[in-house]
Structure 1
């Protein structure tokens, strides 16, 4: 009798273990804390469901860390989590040492609201025509930048000297903020090139050769109680479907607020996936015993 039931029991047990594996909750990959040499901390994330949902999809980690916008991908130079700033570099912009065709820097509406260029970032519009709107109707958009002038740029920078040579004079330029290039393209502005400089408050009396070229972005941290999660040893993230806040405790469990004693975020009602799996397995086991008996 037992030998006749052995194949049936073996089949039932195989089905039992297969079902058990299928019912285990999916294991999520941990959030990477570095991309190259740059730390990746809240509110940012480079893995799905990591960081704050407001910043999802803004950073990409390949060999380096990049900031993704509608106009292109910009390499992240540094992130200062104390000052809440990110410095990115536009490889298509001109600098003192290289002259490149003009290129619009565009951000999405969410990016413009959540992580706009900092107040000490200046966009320099170069080689503008006399008909440029920033030299006429919108000339109020141009401002003084730490006492620096267009002549200084065209005279000190090897790449910008070309403009002076071609026109036998210093063509107009404009020191302006991000809102100007946000609402008017380089074609509308009628300026052939642009560059951007950050930390401008510290550049008074410093020549263009020693300026910090790039774009500094300033961000805010959403108030989601992330500190509580980090104190418990977790990593702040979010549910990819609901975008609800999660505290990622390990590669296999999440919590709503904190890791120690937190309720599993993947529970439905008051019943965890493990409890549901156990009840189903118990039913299968009962069926197996019934077949044996």
Structure 2
């Protein structure tokens, strides 16, 4: 009777090494980046960053994360409701802004020159200036700055919104108002405009035939993404960032390791953007160990025969 061919110990070791190699190839490379990738439920991706040195330097110090994400401007902190990275837009809400349901003291919406250049309000965001005096510049020399959007008029706001109806009641008429673009409030303050309140709304192209009670109030900003070639950095497990002293571009590989282009192989293999990869790794290691024990037991049983 022919004896079964036994695996020699070196053969077992060789099989074990091959098995480990195949299993580890299935574990994805993920990032040890020092940059936070979420604030609450809002994802934070390039070109934005919460931690100094993360994202693009043009957007440095523009965001603040407490329990929610806020966009910082000279006129205040505005809660970020959503970010659409595909459409390159961000919706913010002014908590001190008047809406159809609440009337609040007027104030200005002010952005820095840099913000106005790289993340301005979108073309489909409209600012409604309310309760303007008859001497308001937008009703005289600059009346061309006012327009009706999607067939709507100022009278709709005064007639439909409880918050704005008070202006009609006080004067027994509809005081002037003005639908205008961001550029108007960018160059003229509310005091210069001589209007007591403002509200803003967006996605105006889809509001034809929709009453003020159902308008989408807030400010939609449009941003551009600097082309710095950071895709190579992301694929290597890093995050695009910059040197906080020189603002030169960097690939952030870990809290202690940076590169100019991409991370070295293996520097990002334990944790992904704040989410632990440990369950997957432990599962793979358990499978490897189980296979090795099986091979050893099989060898012992065949050797005893």
Does structure 1 conserve the Cα–Cα contact (< 8 Å) formed by 2:33 and 2:252? no
Matched, 1:158 2:173: no
Aligned residues: 236
CA distance in 2, matches of 1:229, 1:200: 38
Does structure 1 conserve the Cα–Cα contact (< 8 Å) formed by 2:33 and 2:239? no
Shift of 1:255: 1.0
Write the mapping of 1:215-234 to structure 2, written as runs, cut at 5 A: 215-234=219-238
Shift of 1:260: 3.2
1:95 aligned partner: 99
Shift of 1:62: 1.1
Shift of 1:192: 0.5
Picking from 148, 154, 172, the partner of 2:152 is 148
2:41 aligned partner: 37
1:201 aligned partner: 205
Deviating beyond 4 angstroms after TM superposition, the runs of 4 or more aligned structure 1 residues are none
Shift of 1:29: 7.5
Deviations 1:249-273 (A, max 9, x none): 12221111111369xxxxxxxxxxx
- Compute the TM-score of the two structures, normalised by the length of structure 1: 0.79
Picking from 71, 93, 98, the partner of 1:67 is 71
2:25 aligned partner: none
Shift of 1:227: 1.2
Does structure 1 conserve the Cα–Cα contact (< 8 Å) formed by 2:33 and 2:238? no
Matched, 1:213 2:198: no
Deviations 1:196-252 (A, max 9, x none): 001111111111001110000000001111111112121111010111111111222
1:124 aligned partner: 128
1:248 aligned partner: 252
CA distance in 1, matches of 2:36, 2:194: 43
1:182 aligned partner: 186
Structure 1 unaligned regions, length at least 5: 1-27, 263-293
Picking from 257, 261, 267, the partner of 1:257 is 261
3-state SS of 1:213 partner? coil
Please, what is the CA RMSD of the aligned residues?
1.5
- Compute the TM-score of the two structures, normalised by the length of structure 2: 0.75
Does structure 1 conserve the Cα–Cα contact (< 8 Å) formed by 2:125 and 2:204? yes
3-state SS of 1:79 partner? strand
3-state SS of 2:162 partner? coil
1:167 aligned partner: 171
Deviations 1:87-106 (A, max 9, x none): 00011110000001111000
3-state SS of 2:92 partner? strand
1:284 aligned partner: none
Structure 2 unaligned regions, length at least 5: 1-31, 267-305
Deviations 1:152-186 (A, max 9, x none): 11111010100100110111110000110011000
Deviations 1:123-157 (A, max 9, x none): 00001111100000000000121110011111110
CA distance in 1, matches of 2:161, 2:85: 33
2:52 aligned partner: 48
